[in-house]
Structure 1
């Protein structure tokens, strides 16, 4: 039974009429978004540049507030809760995260326990250090424990950042273009990692922002298509990732195929 079929699956995040407008220019970034994520669900956010994907991720990550509507995360409505405590219970992975290049992999993961850029050594007891080692093993990168972050490949860095995000044992993991600039082998390794993570952590909910269907692991069961700050389509991937849906979202003819749980999108002639 999938999480969406389970009536006991709890709502992890919910947006109701959520809009974001830039005060200085009046520009609408998001317009009346209604969307929810339940425990164990794995969502993809897709759309062209400027569609509003990262803004939704920032709302769900309690990094910003809507200018209209409501956002609830982990049972708390933004604006009525200390967002610093809320953020500590949310895992965030972004290729834009700043990590000191001289830190070894184990230390990078350790900093996830304190949510800091630099390690706070007095905060890490033996159990915390062991947890970091266990996560390196789970993410199949234990060989990176002593390797400086700066000499790790893009794929290795991505796995370290995911391990770091899992240090707080979050209910929600947000991934903002985690495949950015990865070569093909690194991309496939990371897709395998995300698939295994979903299998090993059935209660964890994830939301992945990406531009490419090829980057979706077989674990992704739901998708949102965004265009110009509005939801074009949302729901199970089989209903959303269609030729017609992708064509309407991206504004040019797109053909979608699926093989053994993996997706491929190709653009035809106009």
Structure 2
């Protein structure tokens, strides 16, 4: 039986490597299906990564590994200086920011209340746990995400873009070194998408030590802050590194199996696809 060790948050100077996957493989026990195979990847503080690939490529599995929500079948995963299998993952999860559309949020809770729950990592608020400083921090984070006017608005009546920003503010309550964004632009209209992209760009500029990983299907959703990209295909890494080297037509075609024309304009990545290769 593997023993767990108390979780200690690394000092900022020692936390240069935020997440590291080495020789990671994931297989489904019931069928033997290979989900990930021989994945090597390192994310450092201050880096902003895009994680791209077709449906079923393994993106969500990678995010779940780094978010300490599952363990690899083979290989090692280290997050914030701690190896999965030798640390209490519940404590580790508490210091990782995660934003996902699958998160359960009470629809009648106000924006401020939703953000507050990030301090306790709970769905429902634990009012006795929130002192005045914690409540004020929730207001500050809503302002940082440019949505302070949502403090008293029920979450259920907020737009998709507003909900995404509230959830990001919630994730930041733990003051994480790592923020995981699982398709944060899903089902957003164009204005909401652009507002969220602007908010993420400002967040990156204002928090130079924060590392982020954004899972998306569309290059147009990447903020100018994104400096690195990893391409997955069928559970294997196709390419990883600086965006200028990875987000090329040739590499995107190899990843998605069809011609893709990629360009860069003012820090953004317009892309269009041709017919699928035979």
TM-score, length basis structure 1: 0.97
Pick one of 153, 157, 168 that aligns with 2:159: 153
In structure 1, how many angstroms separate the alpha carbons of the residues matched to 2:103 and 2:197?
20
Correspondence 1:265 to 2:271: yes
Q: Which residue of 1 aligns with 2:190?
A: 184
Q: Which residue of 1 aligns with 2:110?
A: 104
Q: Which residue of 1 aligns with 2:16?
A: 10
* 1:192 to partner: Cα distance: 0.2
* 1:99 to partner: Cα distance: 0.3
Q: Which residue of 2 aligns with 1:134?
A: 140
In structure 2, how many angstroms separate the alpha carbons of the residues matched to 1:223 and 1:11?
17
Q: Helix, strand or coil: the match of 1:259?
A: coil
Correspondence 1:95 to 2:101: yes
Q: Helix, strand or coil: the match of 1:258?
A: coil
Pick one of 111, 127, 130 that aligns with 1:124: 130
In structure 2, how many angstroms separate the alpha carbons of the residues matched to 1:101 and 1:40?
33
Q: Which residue of 2 aligns with 1:3?
A: none
Q: Helix, strand or coil: the match of 2:229?
A: strand
Within 5 A, what are the aligned runs for 1:1-270?
A: 10-269=16-275, 270=277
Q: Helix, strand or coil: the match of 2:87?
A: coil
In structure 2, how many angstroms separate the alpha carbons of the residues matched to 1:172 and 1:9?
11
* 1:8 to partner: Cα distance: 8.0
User: Any stretches of 5+ residues in structure 1 without a counterpart?
Assistant: 1-6
* 1:9 to partner: Cα distance: 7.0
TM-score, length basis structure 2: 0.94
- Give per-residue Cα distances to partners, 1:27-72, cap 9 Å, x unaligned: 0000010001000000000000000000000000000000000000
Q: Helix, strand or coil: the match of 1:263?
A: coil
In structure 1, how many angstroms separate the alpha carbons of the residues matched to 2:265 and 2:258?
23
Q: Helix, strand or coil: the match of 2:264?
A: strand
Q: CA RMSD in A?
A: 1.0
In structure 1, how many angstroms separate the alpha carbons of the residues matched to 2:107 and 2:254?
42
